[in-house]
């Protein structure tokens, strides 16, 4: 009974507290047991379970379990356990605690049954994730984290304003789809969609992701690759199924991400752009809104978390062993790090949709849903994006990083826990690819799908072989490092920075001007105290003069001296006002 209402986020928060109190082997055992316990709790949550706490406006539904939330909670908790195994060798308490808080907040969003709980956990995710970025410990990590904070503050503000408008219009704090009615989309609809879209990294609101994720530590990047964008996908499925704008937004994401991935030279930046591309498939599925498309978005989020985390694990292991970040500094990884190379190739085959790997059973669901919905343009563009995925992640990165010429340098051994985490993740990628019913049985909608048809296998193999041939033809051109990569982050890196600098300079000049005017006013006041009639200089006449004004050249200002006997009021006037005051006070007292 306790397991049916125990929130898995509470388990992870308990582990975060325990991580601050323990050290060494004891902490490692506690983290492994605790994250595994979170998976166990999720598996024992039955759809329909709920838990709430009192609140002045309405009860807060902290735990609201249904089929959709169970799928996302399962992959979030499972990836937390695998990523914690990968990071077990690190003694960075701050990063470990932030990672656990980050994961628990994501679970809080997944199980939220009301707007306030969702928003609170949403903001905790932003705070914990920026702390993970800052744990990278470099100047670039600090700068990227600050930009990350600013972007997500804007997203959180949009989400909060949308929620408040929605509550003012509807009055219900419960979560429900915002696309179910026939009325035109309201301002609340667009504000909430904008706030969620920033976390989903929909272009042009995406640049925070490839800007920040590569600057975190090797282990921090793995955690970052899992939660923020996929939590946004969950919220899109929950709130915006069938929103037409998401079909085209997602399609653009898939192409935009692979284009920049082909041009990127930093290995983790390349993988970050592919998060944008792969999330685009999920966003497109949400926009299509059919049962098959929504199942495809859910399944692809599940599979994507596994193989994307494995990609970051493998590339992170190379950085850990060699210290080389870019594709053009490395080479020879296949000989020095055969286990890492094998794990990477499994993940690359998964993301490329090779038969027998988990990407093949999920990505094709969304493409097939577009075909069934008679949407040929999204179908063709999604297929084209698959070509770019295999080209950049499946061919370009391994050829340069693992199979390229060995440029020498020392290679440090990879910690055993990192290798074990990669082996387990690779096994899950292959297992789901060979036995898709392991995942399909958990999907929230009834939409039968069979990936291993002859037509699907033949078309996929043709696509992969054609892409491989194209890569071989242009491989020599890819062996030279690009000169730079300009993205939409230029606007807040350059344009907004210059605008802010101009505002600062303008404010400083205005302050100097105000200070000058104030000093001039004080000088005039000082002169007026010594010589009250000096304030009448601009008027050209003395108050006691009967004639015309004196010409400026003839005014004897310096010679005029203040004369108290001539210029002050008679003392009788002062006595009169004092007596009048006391008379009025006496009359008021008598009444």
pLDDT of the chain along its 591 residues, tens only?
555 678 999 999 999 999 898 888 999 999 999 999 999 999 988 888 888 888 777 788 889 999 999 999 999 999 999 999 999 998 889 999 999 999 999 999 999 999 999 999 999 999 999 999 999 989 999 999 998 999 999 999 999 999 999 998 887 788 888 887 655 678 899 999 999 999 999 998 889 999 999 999 999 999 999 999 999 999 999 999 999 999 999 999 999 999 999 888 889 999 999 999 999 999 999 999 999 999 999 999 999 999 999 999 999 999 988 888 887 776 666 778 889 999 999 999 999 999 999 999 999 999 999 999 999 999 999 999 999 999 999 998 988 888 877 766 778 889 999 999 999 999 999 999 999 999 999 999 988 899 999 998 999 999 999 999 988 887 776 666 565 677 777 777 777 778 878 888 888 888 888 888 988 888 777 766 666 555 555 555 444 444 445 455 544 444 455 555 655 666 777 788 888 888 888 887 776
Q: φ, ψ for residue 306 (rounded to 5)?
A: -65, -50
pLDDT of residue 471: 85
CA distance 238 to 178: 9
Q: Is residue 567 part of a domain?
A: no
Asked if 62 and 192 sit in the same domain, the reply is yes
Asked if 215 and 320 sit in the same domain, the reply is no
Listed residues 436, 454, 483: the one ending a domain? 483
Q: Is residue 545 part of a domain?
A: no
Asked if 197 and 277 sit in the same domain, the reply is no
Asked if 26 and 165 sit in the same domain, the reply is yes
Contacts (Cβ under 8 Å, ≥6 apart) of 389: 258, 261, 274, 277, 278, 351, 352, 353
Q: Using alpha carbons, select from 474, 493, 488 the residue that is nearest to residue 262.
A: 474
Listed residues 483, 504, 538: the one ending a domain? 483
Q: Is residue 515 part of a domain?
A: no
Asked if 337 and 313 sit in the same domain, the reply is yes
Asked if 302 and 166 sit in the same domain, the reply is no
CA atoms within 13 A on the CB side of 256: 23
Contacts (Cβ under 8 Å, ≥6 apart) of 469: none
Bridge partners of residue 52, in order along the sequence = 61
Asked if 296 and 357 sit in the same domain, the reply is yes
Structure tokens at 165: 């408008």
Asked if 171 and 51 sit in the same domain, the reply is yes
Q: Which residues of 442-470 are buried (b: 16+ CB within 10 A; e: fewer)?
A: bbbbebebebeeeebeeebeebbeebeee
Asked if 287 and 402 sit in the same domain, the reply is yes
pLDDT of residue 557: 47
Asked if 65 and 160 sit in the same domain, the reply is yes
pLDDT of residue 544: 44
- Greatest CA span in the chain, whole angstroms? 115
Structure tokens at 194: 């904008």
pLDDT of residue 405: 73
- Burial bucket for residue 62 (CB in 10 Å: 0-12, 13-18, 19+): buried
CA distance 330 to 467: 24
pLDDT of residue 3: 59
Asked if 368 and 384 sit in the same domain, the reply is yes
pLDDT of residue 416: 93
Listed residues 468, 483, 498: the one ending a domain? 483
CA distance 490 to 479: 26
CA distance 495 to 207: 15
Residue 204, preceding peptide bond in cis (omega within 30° of 0)? yes
Q: Is residue 578 part of a domain?
A: no
Number of domains in the chain: 2
Q: Is residue 566 part of a domain?
A: no
Q: Is residue 306 part of a domain?
A: yes
Structure tokens at 371: 């075909």
Q: Is residue 110 part of a domain?
A: yes
Contacts (Cβ under 8 Å, ≥6 apart) of 260: 210, 273, 276, 485, 487
Note whether 375 and 246 are within 8 A (CB). Answer: no
Q: Is residue 267 part of a domain?
A: yes
Q: DSSP 3-state assignment of 91?
A: coil
| Full residue range of the structural domain in which residue 309 is found | 241-483
Asked if 167 and 47 sit in the same domain, the reply is yes
């Amino acid at each position: 009974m306790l397991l049916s209402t125990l929130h898995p986020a509470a388990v992870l928060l308990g582990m975060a507290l325990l991580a601050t109190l323990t050290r060494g082997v004891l902490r490692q055992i506690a983290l492994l047991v605790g994250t595994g316990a979170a998976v166990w709790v999720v598996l024992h949550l039955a759809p329909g379970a709920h838990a709430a706490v009192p609140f002045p406006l309405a009860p807060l539904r902290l735990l609201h379990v249904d089929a959709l939330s169970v799928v996302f909670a399962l992959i979030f908790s499972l990836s937390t356990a695998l990523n914690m195994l990968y990071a077990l060798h690190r003694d960075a308490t701050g990063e470990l605690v932030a990672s656990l808080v980050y994961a628990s907040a994501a679970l809080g969003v997944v199980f939220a049954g009301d707007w306030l709980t969702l928003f609170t956990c949403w903001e905790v995710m932003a705070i914990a994730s920026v702390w993970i970025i800052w744990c990278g410990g470099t100047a670039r990590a600090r700068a990227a984290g600050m930009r990350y904070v600013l972007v997500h503050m804007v997203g959180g503000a949009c989400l909060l304003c949308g929620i408040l408008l929605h509550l003012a219009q509807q009055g219900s704090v419960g979560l429900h789809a915002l696309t179910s009615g026939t009325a035109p989309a309201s301002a609340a609809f667009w504000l909430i969609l904008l706030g969620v879209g920033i976390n989903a990294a929909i272009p042009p609101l995406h640049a925070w992701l490839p800007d920040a994720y590569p600057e975190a530590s090797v282990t921090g990047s793995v955690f970052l690759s899992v939660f923020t964008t996929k939590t946004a996908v969950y919220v899109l499925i929950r709130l915006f199924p069938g929103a037409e704008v998401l079909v085209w937004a997602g399609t653009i994401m898939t192409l935009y991400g692979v284009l920049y991935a082909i041009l990127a030279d930093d290995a983790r930046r390349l993988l970050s752009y592919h998060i944008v591309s792969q999330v685009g498939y999920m966003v497109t599925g949400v926009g299509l809104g059919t049962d098959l498309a929504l199942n495809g978005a859910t399944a692809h989020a599940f599979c994507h978390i596994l193989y994307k985390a494995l990609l970051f694990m493998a590339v992170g292991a190379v950085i850990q062993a060699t210290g080389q970040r870019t594709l053009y500094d490395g080479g020879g990884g296949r000989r020095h790090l055969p286990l890492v190379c094998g794990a990477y190739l499994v993940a690359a085959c998964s993301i490329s949709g090779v038969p027998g790997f988990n990407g093949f059973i999920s990505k094709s669901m969304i493409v097939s849903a577009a075909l069934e919905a008679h949407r040929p343009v999204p179908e063709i563009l999604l297929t084209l994006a698959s070509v770019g995925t295999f080209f950049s992640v499946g061919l370009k990165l391994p050829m340069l990083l693992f199979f390229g010429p060995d440029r020498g340098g020392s290679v440090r051994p990879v910690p055993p826990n990192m290798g074990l985490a990669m082996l387990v993740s690779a096994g899950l990628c292959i297992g789901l690819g060979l036995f898709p019913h392991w995942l399909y049985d958990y999907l929230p909608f009834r939409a039968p799908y069979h990936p291993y048809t002859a037509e699907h296998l033949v078309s996929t193999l043709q696509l992969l072989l054609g892409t491989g041939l194209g890569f071989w033809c242009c491989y020599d051109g890819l062996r030279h490092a690009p000169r730079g990569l300009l993205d939409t982050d230029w606007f807040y890196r350059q344009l907004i920075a210059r605008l802010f600098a101009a505002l600062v300079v303008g404010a400083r000049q205005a302050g100097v001007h105000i200070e000058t005017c104030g000093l001039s006013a004080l000088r005039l006041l000082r002169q007026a105290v010594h010589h009250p009639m000096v304030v009448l200089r601009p008027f050209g006449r003395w108050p006691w003069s009967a004639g015309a004004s004196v010409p400026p050249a003839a005014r004897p200002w310096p010679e005029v001296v203040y004369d108290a006997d001539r210029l002050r009021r008679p003392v009788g006037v002062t006595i009169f006002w004092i007596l009048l005051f006391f008379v009025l006070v006496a009359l008021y007292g008598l009444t």
